A and B are shown apart, each in its own frame.
Chain A
Amino acid sequence: MKRWLPAAVVLLAALWIISVQLRPDSPTPFDLKEFGKIPVLVGGRIKPLDTVARTSLMVIHGKQVLRTRDDGRMEAIAWLAELMMRPDLADHREVFLIHDPDLSAWFAGTDDSRKTFSFAEIHPHFEEIQRQAARAAEIDVQLRNRFERAVVRLHSAISLYARLKHSLHDGLFPDMAAEVGAYASVLRPGMQALNRRQAGQDYDEASFEALIRFADRYRTLDQAGYFFPVPHGPPDSTDWRKAGMSLLESLHTGSIDPGMKRIAEIVTAYRFDDPERFNQAVAEHLTAVEDSHPQRASRASAESFFNHLSPFYKSMVLYVGVFLLACASWLVWPRTLAQSALWLATLAFVLHTSGIIFRMWLEGRPPVTNLYSSAVFVGWGSALLGLLLERWYRNGIGACTVAAVGFCTLLVAHHLSGDGDTMEMLRAVLDSNFWLATHVVVITMGYAATFLAGFLGIIFVFRGVFSTTLAPEVATALSRMIYGVLCFALLFSFAGTVLGGIWADQSWGRFWGWDPKENGALLIVLWIAAILHARWGGYIRMRGLANMAIFGNIVTSWSWFGTNMLGIGLHSYGFMEQAFLWLALFMLSQLAIIAIGCLPSRLWRSRLPGA
């Protein structure tokens, strides 16, 4: 039975992945999965409604799924469909997440168990929210207190919510298809009346009034709308139209854009609870966009598939399993469990890799373009190195670090995705695939290797102090692993830093500008160089090496995130309010582990060689 364990573990995991993938999306007869594939333009790129729904719900609700009061779950796309087409229902869903008790007391009174509120509850307080948010917005981000942060956040969530609500329709008349038809029929007589009126001739007042009423409403709709759902222009164009904008343009063209007509049909079908008509309208729209903008439509559809697959979330779960198996292997069944851990880690790694490749293809970019993707890639890099170590040493240590670093970095990535789209467009400075592919990838591999060395150090300390499993040969192997990974880290950190300098020189005429991010990279290089020289000089041995490698975690995390929090320099492209606390906690935890690692050898449960 033991022989089959590794294969069984992998099979089980694969079955889980497939079963999640096949689970039907929504219990309603509306085909919302297809609806989620509809491409729209927002944030400068074409993406599926599914992505819009997920990132918006993430910003407003802090999660990609909505738990409804009757304990059901509501997918993001179902929520968005309801918000855009049945706002009367959506306004009573408790979506707005508020962490600050001072602010939530405005809506909940003394009931401090509630953290989520509906638009209907918040709406009466809107003026006060606006006043407080305007005041808080004038304070520097770093200096805001908890209430001010919360109120600014709520204000932007409300504005996103309202803009989403008005992206397709203003909801004044339920039957949008009929409304658009009525608008089409007054276009010609109305324009005629308008022209005659301007020329000072007699005109048909009724047609004129009707047209002006429509135009006023659509102007408001155009200003309020969030995304651009109406395809426009040549096949590779991103110059799409908002609903209001497209309807206003009809004044000049004299007819309704067919894309707009199809969208109106979708809205009406949903509104009148007619799933058959809805599904057909969605399918028609998708086919039409595939004809007019084939590449945009297929990318959007692929992105929607990617969202459903959520490979990073699934690898995270698998990494937890790997971690447990690897740790267990040091207690019982060392060979079998270590092998199971390796196999499962390989599966998780394959999923992780395919996620990265999928993203690269969707974006047409190298793997790292922002903080989010750097976190995903650091995890991938450490997992790759950890797997190699596991293949060479087969002692569960490599697998354990694969799991720990992979899980932690994906968790970090998950929290970084709370700001919205993770595939946002790149600012002009960063728009260079060549340098993103070289400098950024190499430097991120350097981070990955330094973290891997640090986690190997943590394993050394924990196993040594708290268990007797750190036998001399294990200790020797571990410290050799740390040393090798550090050499690799030095090579990549140095090369990455230099490539960054070359990028800077090519673009800005200076190789080195003492910018915080550059200095952060330099710190990593200096620290690894110090560790290696200390070891070559014999000033540190296994334990010192492990402890210094753990300090490398602190240096790297500062370089990765800390430098961005200073809010200065060319690289300050992402200040994160919450992250500062977590960074500080992480650094403290590493210091605590180093303190444990510095305990005198007699307090260690394992005997160190030569000690």
Chain B
Amino acid sequence: MHALRILLRLFSSLQLTIACLIAAMVLVFVGTIDQVNLGIHAAQAKYFHSFVVWWEFPESHLRLPVFPGGFLLGGVLIVNLLAAHFTRFKLSAGKSGIVLIHLGIILLLVGELVTGLFQVESQLRLSEGETKRFSESWRSVELVLIDRSDPEVDRVWRIDEAALIGGGTFRQPDFPVDIVVRRFLPNSRVFRRPPGELPPEAVTAGRGLGRNLFATELPRTGKIDERDISTAEVELVTPEGSLGTWMACNAFDEVQPIEIDGRTFHLEMRQRRYYKPFSLHLLEFTHDRYPGTDIPANFSSRVRLHNPATREDRSILIYMNHPLRYDGLTFYQAGYDDDDTTSILQVVRNPGRHLPYIASSLVTLGLVVQFLMHFHRFGKRRRAGK
């Protein structure tokens, strides 16, 4: 009982609040500086969307926890705020601003947690005249075996990245083979295969496009403008025995057809796809520059949205600061390619996107209430002082 009270006092103390705030400053500062080395994405995962920041010794697998991560600090701050309100604070009109502020802060932290856990970002590349029903992840890949034997419909068997990392044997009804993932390199460099010895850890293949290649592992990139080259060594096994090994890599431009029992299959490593119940068709991409300069004045994509289920079929203009919001997704103009004929749209799904709005309104309201009360008291004191 006594221990519990000490614990409660610790968790409701103001010292803990200040310690958390200053620790958060250190975390944010270091996490920002380290973006120069790691890139925004990796730094975010390491410092902000983590419970503990690890110090990794170079050239070894040894690592030590050195600092609380964003989730841990946020969690402690939430506990601290709740505990303080249940023990130290007494509800009164004078404290209403403070209560609002703290409630808002808790919601903000929860919102960031929801975002960290559930937000999905992907990209949609559309050339003029092209129609797509899916967006692609920039970060993760999937291995697919596609049954092309039916001229009308492709049947796709996909294995996502988490499963590839685990490795092992995969089986799917209606497919005549098992897939054995022998090696998977999330990021790699692919070389032409020399006649002699290969590095012991290299990924190779006996058949297909990778016959004359090999791949070695690289650390994953976290930079915004770089993509991982993922490579897997895959063995296809029928009940009669192994058909051989293939290499699948998302840097291959060609398809890799494989004949099994007289049917044609394609084995492919590609960016993970997110299929939508609707399609987007790029009518036109425009890129305006200010006259006589190269400064971009505006980018815009005119797309046609077609949803068979709701029979929607309309044209939409997506441009800077004006994204398309549809079906819980946000499509915004992120870039362009191929001499201004390809538009790149960023696609974001964030189920917690309304939380920050509510949270920040609460905090701002609380701050205004508190500020006005201070100001009022200050005015009274000043008049009394005269």
What residues of A have a CB within 8 angstroms of the CB of B323 in the complex? 506-509
Task: Flag whether B255 is at the interface (Cβ < 8 A).
Answer: no
* A240 located at the interface, meaning its Cβ lies under 8 Å from any Cβ of chain B in the complex: yes
**Does A502 make an interface contact (CB < 8 A)?**
yes
Greatest chain B CB density within 10 A among A43, A530, A569 is at A530
Say yes or no: A569-B35 contact (C-beta < 8 A), given A43-B293, A507-B323, A523-B28.
Answer: yes
**Which of A425, A503, A512, A519 is the one whose CB lies under 8 Å from B293?**
A425
Q: Given the complex, which residues of B lie within 8 Å of A42, measured CB to CB? A: 292
Q: Are A491 and B371 in contact (CB under 8 A)?
A: yes
A431-B298, A491-B371, A514-B44 are contacts. A530–B18 as well, Cβ < 8 Å? yes
Among B128-136, B233-241, B270-278, B346-354, the stretch that binds chain A is B346-354
Interface: B177 (CB within 8 A): no
Q: Give A469-511 interface residues, CB cut-off 8 Å to B.
A: 480, 484, 487-488, 490-491, 494-495, 498, 501-503, 505-511
A41 to chain B: which residues have CB within 8 Å?
A: 291-292
Q: Is A139 in the interface zone, CB < 8 Å from B? A: no
Q: Are A512 and B115 in contact (CB under 8 A)?
A: yes
Asked whether, in the complex, the Cβ of A491 is within 8 Å of the Cβ of B382, the reply is no
State the CA gap A427–B289 with chains docked (Å): 9
Please judge, given known A-B contacts A508-B346, A510-B348, A520-B32, whether A495 and B332 are in contact too, CB under 8 Å.
no
Residue in contact with A240 in the complex, picked from B32, B291, B371, CB distance below 8 Å: B291
The residue of chain A having its C-beta at the shortest distance from the C-beta of B291 within the complex is: A238
Asked if B364 is an interface residue, CB under 8 A from chain A, the answer is yes
Measured CB to CB, the nearest residue on chain B to A424 is B295
Tell whether A484 pairs with B357 under 8 Å between CB atoms, given A510-B350, A533-B18.
Answer: no
Main secondary structure of the interface of A (DSSP, over half): helix
Q: Which A residues lie within 8 Å of B31 (CB)?
A: 514, 519
- Of the candidate stretches A261-269, A292-300, A373-381, A534-542, the one touching chain B is A534-542
Q: Do residues A490 and B363 form an inter-chain contact, with CB atoms below 8 A?
A: no
- Enumerate 26 A-B pairs (CB-CB under 8 Å) in ascending A order: A44-B292, A44-B293, A44-B295, A45-B290, A428-B320, A490-B367, A491-B364, A491-B368, A494-B360, A494-B364, A507-B332, A508-B330, A511-B356, A512-B112, A513-B40, A514-B31, A514-B40, A519-B29, A519-B31, A526-B24, A526-B28, A539-B18, A563-B32, A566-B35, A566-B36, A569-B35
Q: Least Cβ distance of A432 to chain B in Å?
A: 5
Answer whether residue A9 sits at the interface, using C-beta atoms and an 8 A cutoff: no
**A574 to B: closest C-beta gap in Å:** 14
Q: Tell me whether A484 and B374 are in contact in the complex, defined as CB-CB below 8 angstroms, given that A498-B363, A507-B332, A509-B348 are known contacts.
A: yes
Contact A509 B21 (CB under 8 A): no
Q: Does A515 contact B (CB under 8 A)?
A: yes
Closest to A225 in B: B292
A491 lies within 8 A of B367 (CB)? yes
**Is the pair B364, A43 in contact by a Cβ cutoff of 8 Å?**
no
- The answer to whether A523 and B43 touch across the interface, beta carbons within 8 angstroms, is no
Q: Is B260's CB within 8 Å of the partner chain A?
A: no
Known: A431-B321, A432-B320. 19 other contacts (CB 8 A): A227-B292, A240-B292, A425-B297, A435-B321, A484-B378, A501-B356, A502-B360, A505-B353, A505-B356, A507-B321, A510-B348, A512-B115, A513-B44, A514-B40, A514-B43, A523-B28, A555-B25, A563-B32, A569-B35
Q: Which residues of A contact B68 (CB under 8 A)?
A: none
| Candidate in B21, B112, B334, B382 with the most chain A CB atoms within 10 angstroms | B21
- Per the CB 8 Å criterion, the residue count for chain A at the interface is 62
Q: How large is the interface on B (under 10, 10 to 19, 20 to 34, 35 or more residues)?
A: 35 or more
Q: A522 an interface residue at 8 Å Cβ cutoff?
A: yes
The yes or no answer to A398 lying at the interface (CB within 8 A) is: no
- Report the separation of the CA atoms of residues A229 and B357 in the bound assembly, to the nearest whole angstrom: 49
Does B22 belong to the interface (CB within 8 Å)? Answer: yes
Q: Which of A429, A487, A534 is B18 in contact with, Cβ under 8 Å? A: A534
A228 contacts B292, C-beta separation under 8 Å: yes
Contacts of B368 in A (CB 8 A): 491
State whether the Cβ of B119 lies closer than 8 Å to any Cβ in chain A.
yes
Of B25, B289, B378, B382, which is within 8 A of A526 by CB?
A: B25
The 4 closest A-B pairs by CB, nearest first: A44-B290, A509-B330, A509-B348, A498-B360
Which residues A235-273 have CB closer than 8 A to chain B?
238-240
- If A44-B290, A432-B321, A487-B374 touch, whether A511 touches B353 (CB-CB below 8 Å) is yes
Q: Given that A498-B363, A539-B18 are contacting pairs, would A512 and B356 also be in contact in the complex, using a CB cutoff of 8 Å? A: yes
B186 within 8 A of A: no
Do B35 and A533 have beta carbons less than 8 Å apart? no
Q: Say whether B117 faces chain A, with CB atoms less than 8 Å apart.
A: no
Interface assignment of A529: CB less than 8 Å from any CB of chain B: yes
Given contacts A523-B29, A530-B18, contact A569 B291 (CB under 8 A): no
CB nearest neighbor in B for A534:
B18
Could you tell me if B371 and A509 are in contact, using CB atoms closer than 8 angstroms?
no
Contact of A530 among B25, B348, B360 (CB under 8 A): B25
Contact A494 B35, CB 8 Å, known A512-B112, A533-B21: no
Residues on the B chain within 8 Å of A568, using CB: 35-36, 39-40, 224
Of all chain A residues, the one with the shortest Cβ separation from B356 is: A511
Contact B291 A511 (CB under 8 A): no
B329 to chain A, nearest CB (A): 8
Are A43 and B290 interface neighbours, CB within 8 A? yes
Does A457 make an interface contact (CB < 8 A)? no
What chain B residues lie within 8 Å of A173 (beta carbons)? none
Interface residues of B in 178-218 (CB under 8 A from A): none
| Assembled-state Cα–Cα distance A529/B322 (Å) | 34
Hey, which chain A residues are within 8 Å of B378, CB to CB? 480, 484
B60: interface (CB < 8 Å): no
Q: Is A39 an interface residue (CB 8 A)?
A: no
Q: Say if the beta carbon of A527 comes within 8 Å of chain B.
A: yes
Which residues in window 326-360 of B have CB below 8 A to A?
Answer: 330-332, 334, 346-348, 350, 353, 356-357, 360
List, in ascending order, chain A residues with CB within 8 A of B246's CB: none
Docked complex Cα distance between A514 and B353 (Å): 16
Residue of A nearest to B360 (CB): A498
In this assembly, does A392 line the interface, its C-beta being within 8 Å of a C-beta of chain B?
Answer: yes
A516 contacts B by Cβ under 8 Å: yes
List CB contacts (< 8 Å) of B15-30 with chain A: 15, 17-18, 21-22, 24-25, 28-29
A530 to B19, CA, bound (A): 8
Interface digits, B283-301 against A, CB 8 Å rule (1 contact, 0 not)? 0000001111101111100
A501 with B32, Cβ < 8 A, contacts A491-B371, A509-B348 known:
no
B111 at the interface (CB under 8 A from A): yes
Which listed residue (B14, B39, B363) contacts A536, Cβ 8 A? B14
Q: In this complex, what residue of A is CB-closest to B361? A: A498
Nearest-Cβ distance from residue B385 to partner chain A, whole angstroms: 10
A33–chain B nearest beta-carbon distance, Å: 26
Q: How far is the CA of A22 from the CA of B353 in the complex (A)?
A: 58
In the docked arrangement, what's the CA distance between A536 and B36, Å?
A: 37
Residue of B whose beta carbon sits closest to that of A226: B292
List of B residues within 8 angstroms of A502 by Cβ: 356-357, 360
Are the C-beta atoms of B21 and A530 separated by less than 8 Å?
A: yes
Q: Does B48 contact A (CB under 8 A)?
A: yes
Instruction: State the Cβ distance, A356 to closest chain B Cβ, in Å.
Output: 24
Residues on B with beta carbons closer than 8 Å to the beta carbon of A526: 21-22, 24-25, 28
Residues of B within 8 A of A432 (CB): 320-321
Centre residue among A427, A428, A480, A501 by max chain B CB count within 10 A: A428
Which residues of chain B are within 8 angstroms of A516 by Cβ–Cβ distance? 32, 35
A-chain residues with CB within 8 Å of residue B299 when the two chains form the complex: 428
Least CB distance, B260 to chain A, in whole angstroms: 42
Is the CB of B33 closer than 8 A to any CB of chain A?
yes
Pair B296/A510 contact, Cβ less than 8 Å:
no
A501, B360: Cβ atoms closer than 8 Å: yes
